[in-house]
Amino acid sequence: MNLPLTRFAILFNSQIPEAEALAGKISAFMETLGASIQAIRTIEDKTLRQPIKKKEFEALIVLGGDGTMLRASHLCASAHMPIIGINLGSFGFLMELQRDEWEAYLPKLLKGEYRIEKRMLLEAEHFHQGTSRGSWLVVNEVVVCRGQHVRPIRLDAEVNGHHMASYVADGLIAATPTGSTAYALAAGGAIMPPDLRNIIVVPVAPHLSPDQPIILNEGASVTISVKTSHQAVFSVDGHDAVIMEDGDSVLISSSELNSHYIRFRDAGYFYRALNRFMEQNPSLNQMR
């Protein structure tokens, strides 16, 4: 049991046709139960940053897919604000509820009948000639990879300042347990339980190089350096790529912040849900 939640904002993905109408329907439903809906906005709306920072509401209800949930996680992490996701997308690995479940489960929030699942976040810092060029909060993964030229690059990985491995590959992924079910999984990585606090390092199309994913100890950091005569880039959670020059590096370490996801089911549900995702890929169904 947790404290009852009564003040909410609803964020929805404007690219999903039914999302806005459903947001209004959920708002009306929650208000009949005595909840206060402080705002209904698209996930792209930047005006919510300040209300979230000031904690003008207690939790965020998010309508969309995993991409929508990633954006909400970036918004809410520094405020330690919990998020409940309702899946209107394809996979919904991060979402707690399917589109036909919200009416049965959302009333539990007002009774404190939920748990909070804390998920590890990373921090990625880009260095050029020893000088920091910026840092980013990471929910899923950092990808250091080749740029516009279709040729592999040389990548060196250090763990806690000590050489781990060198790769000739299309790229290298450093992912959280949350990100282990995203790009890292597609590249052959292992699925990690969400409560772990380890980084998994996964090579992408390695050529005569180490080809196995490596799970680092809890608290370890990894530095990925590029050695290349052509363009290399890195990207955080699928955002716009940042160009890297020869000798540049990205330091990836655990963040002091966490994502806070609202859950109604027991922790073992993660494993039971994997069967549904693995045996019936909704993305394939859409292509048929």
Segment 228-277, tens digit of pLDDT:
999 999 999 999 999 999 999 999 999 999 999 999 998 778 877 776 66
Same domain, 270 and 251: no
**CA distance readout (Å), 94 to 6, 29, 64, 87, 263:** 23, 24, 10, 9, 10
Same domain, 283 and 245: no
Q: Give domain status of residue 42, yes or no.
A: yes
User: What residue numbers bound the domain in which 47 lies?
Assistant: 7-114+264-287
Residue 257 to residue 121: CA distance in whole angstroms:
6
Q: Which of 165, 140, 136, 166 is nearest to 227 (CA)?
A: 166
The number of domains in the chain is: 2
66 catalytic per annotation = yes
Average predicted confidence (pLDDT) for the chain: 93
User: What pLDDT, on the 0 to 100 scale, is given for residue 51?
Assistant: 95
User: What pLDDT, on the 0 to 100 scale, is given for residue 286?
Assistant: 56
* pLDDT tier at 104, thresholds 50, 70, 90: very high
Same domain, 52 and 175: no
Contacts of residue 57, defined as CB under 8 A and 6 or more positions apart, other chains included, come to 7, 8, 9, 36, 38, 39, 51, 81
Same domain, 101 and 164: no
Same domain, 20 and 104: yes
User: What pLDDT, on the 0 to 100 scale, is given for residue 278?
Assistant: 65
User: What pLDDT, on the 0 to 100 scale, is given for residue 169?
Assistant: 97
Decide if 188 contacts 213 (C-beta within 8 A).
Answer: yes
Same domain, 208 and 81: no
Structural tokens at position 75: 């918004």
Report the CATH number at residue 49: 3.40.50.10330
User: Of 45, 66, 195, 246, which is the active-site residue?
Assistant: 66
Q: Which of 109, 54, 55 is nearest to 84 (CA)?
A: 109
Mean local confidence (pLDDT), 178-192: 95
Same domain, 159 and 100: no
Q: Give domain status of residue 1, yes or no.
A: no
**Parallel, antiparallel, or unpaired: how do β-strands 7-12 and 59-64 relate?**
parallel
Question: In the chain, what percentage of residues exceed pLDDT 90?
Answer: 88
Q: Which amino acid belongs to residue 185?
A: L
Same domain, 231 and 193: yes
Same domain, 144 and 159: yes
**Whole-model pTM?**
0.92
Residue 41 to residue 165: CA distance in whole angstroms:
45
Same domain, 162 and 268: no
Q: Give domain status of residue 2, yes or no.
A: no
* pLDDT tier at 92, thresholds 50, 70, 90: confident
pLDDT above 90: residue 145: yes
Mean local confidence (pLDDT), 111-134: 97
Same domain, 21 and 102: yes
pLDDT above 70: residue 72: yes
User: What pLDDT, on the 0 to 100 scale, is given for residue 283?
Assistant: 58
DSSP annotation string for 104-167: HHGGGGGGT--EEEEEEEEEEEEEETTEEEEEEEESSEEEEEE-SSSS-EEEEEEETTEEEEEE
pLDDT above 90: residue 3: yes
**CA distance readout (Å), 83 to 23, 186, 262:** 15, 26, 6
